[in-house]
Structure 1
């Protein structure tokens, strides 16, 4: 038998907005139309009473901890509230992502709630943008020691490397690093199979 809570989960009214979103928001968010898109999205969310999901005034219910005595009616009610909230929040996320350009969508991947998804715009609202050079510097600083040579080569370039080229070269370097790390273990296995100790194994060229 389907309970009232389950029926609510199956029939979220928010999902109905997705098919008509572009009657309220006539642009897709990119790096040149933030203020326009944000203003339209805010009006749409507020007019439909769902702004609380993205600003935190309608937070996720705290999951009820199971009592040692077992599962009771209050626990069941809390679980239902949590499921319903998550369903509505996912619908809001779907609504927001429908207004993102393909490039902007890549920045939204990984968001777990509509609030996290909406928060991606805070830096843009403040007029803070990361250019390719800044992203490359941050990425280089986060690389492990095995990439020191690669780091020096990129930093020693006369011209600024594009993000697309940096990604391509980083993937190539990653493949090299992986192959180098496999070589010692391969030689160890070869030596063991031939009855040699590592001291007897031929030196690496």
Structure 2
């Protein structure tokens, strides 16, 4: 996200280089008035939007550290303070954890949230994980029943939007669950003991 914001010249709200302009208009004869300046209102509107964007991108754990923040800069500083002491060994551990994470018995939703949490921690430590790397990490952690969707997504020529990626995995999860239920039903039907043939007594 930092690179995107820098590209649009908006990261200045986070690093402090963009400061709030004067809040009230100043008239020479009267001094400050109660009328808000247009530049202040525009700045506040942009800052609140960026603060909302930052909050929406955080995991539940990271969210705890920005609750109550009034500006994008304040929230960013809280995150920096929280994760500034992350050691190089810890960063390497989180990278390995991201690359080797397995879905296991988790749902797709929970698995992706787990990966997102690791990514958030790395981002707070100034280590950026691209969307492509996130997608690859998620695909590598899927069990064999997701082989088809893995092949399809890996073979894509263009990058995949994370929202679309999540939707594809959720659909694949539903298909896998339906297949398991179907196979379980067939197994139960085939393993049921057959009723013994009835014998007819001869008179």
Tell me if both proteins adopt one fold, taking TM over 0.5 as the criterion: no
TM-score interval for Structure 1 and Structure 2 normalised by the shorter chain: 0.3 to 0.5
Taking structure 2 as the reference length, what is the TM-score of the superposition? 0.42
Query: Which structure would you say has the larger RCO, counting Cα contacts within 8 Å and 6 or more residues apart?
Result: 1
TM-score normalised to structure 1 length: 0.41
